[in-house]
Amino acid sequence: MKKLSPSMLSADFGELNSQIEIIERAGAQYLHIDVMDGVFVPNISFGAPVYKCIRKNSGLVFDVHLMITEPIRYIEDFVKAGADIVNFHVEAAEDPGKTIEKIRSFGVKAGITIKPNTPVSAVEKYLDKVDLVLVMTVEPGFGGQKLIPECLKKITELKKIREERGLSYEIEVDGGVGLGNLREVMESGSDVIVAGSAGFGADDIEKTVREMLDIIREYD
């Protein structure tokens, strides 16, 4: 089943619990949680204590995207705070294989991410070990950017590899996806769509989430 993962980074933190209730009511399956350290990316967001506070009030799958240097150091903290999926950047890990093993040792799903300039070949040897591959279609660190069309080729490539090798990882897409280009992104082979500005940043969050899900379900 195809899924929508609205990004908490675009939420109003003064209304966080109520906005999460809205996307859950609208049918979103995941909550995308961007963790930035100001080192790997030029911005700082929030850490495990923030989403630990909302974990008890939400039944959504917590899709935690670590944009931090040497993520292996903090995996246990994020799992204890309530992560269901821990997703890290191949570019940020000294040993991606050990990082995947550490994530899976806690009984949660492991994801690996590539930036726009990183080729699929950088993660190919890990594809049989992960549950999810996240393709960044903007430079990580800031919301509101336009999707880089060339990145969609990587989604198609990952789908082809998955079929050829009989693997089962999901392909997630993050960056500049909205109602205007959602069908194009889905047709490239995406399974999970991260909605940043197009999700929590919409004037009518519930209506927009429902409209995005209607399109996503056309590809189930």
Between CA 124 and CA 30 the distance in angstroms is 25
The whole-chain average pLDDT of the chain stands at: 93
Predicted confidence (pLDDT) at residue 19 exceeds the cutoff of 80: yes
Predicted confidence (pLDDT) at residue 172 exceeds the cutoff of 70: yes
Q: Which residues are catalytic?
A: 34, 174
Between CA 218 and CA 203 the distance in angstroms is 24
- pLDDT band at residue 196 using 50, 70 and 90 as cut-offs: confident
Q: In this structure, are residues 126 and 97 in contact, taking their beta carbons and an 8 Å threshold?
A: yes
Between CA 160 and CA 169 the distance in angstroms is 12
Predicted confidence (pLDDT) at residue 41 exceeds the cutoff of 80: no
pLDDT at 184: 96
Report the helix count and the strand count for the chain, using DSSP H and E: 7, 8
Predicted confidence (pLDDT) at residue 46 exceeds the cutoff of 80: no
Predicted confidence (pLDDT) at residue 43 exceeds the cutoff of 80: no
Delineate the domains of the chain, giving CATH numbers in brackets.
Answer: 3-217 (3.20.20.70)
pLDDT at 143: 63
Q: In this structure, are residues 112 and 96 in contact, taking their beta carbons and an 8 Å threshold?
A: yes
CA 113, 191, 165, 111 torsion-angle sign? positive
Whole-model pTM: value is: 0.94
pLDDT at 45: 74
Q: What percent of the chain has pLDDT over 70?
A: 96
**What does the pLDDT look like over 120-147, one tens digit per residue?**
999 999 999 999 999 999 987 666 678 9
162: Cα separation from own chain's centroid: 19
**What does the pLDDT look like over 49-103, one tens digit per residue?**
787 888 988 999 999 999 899 999 999 999 999 999 999 999 999 999 999 999 9
Query: How many CB atoms neighbour CB 36 within 10 A?
Result: 21
Strand order in the sheet with 170-174: 3-6, 192-195, 170-174, 132-136, 109-114, 85-89, 61-67, 30-36
**Residue with more model confidence, 49 or 106:** 106
Closest CA relative to residue 100, chosen from 72, 135, 74: 72
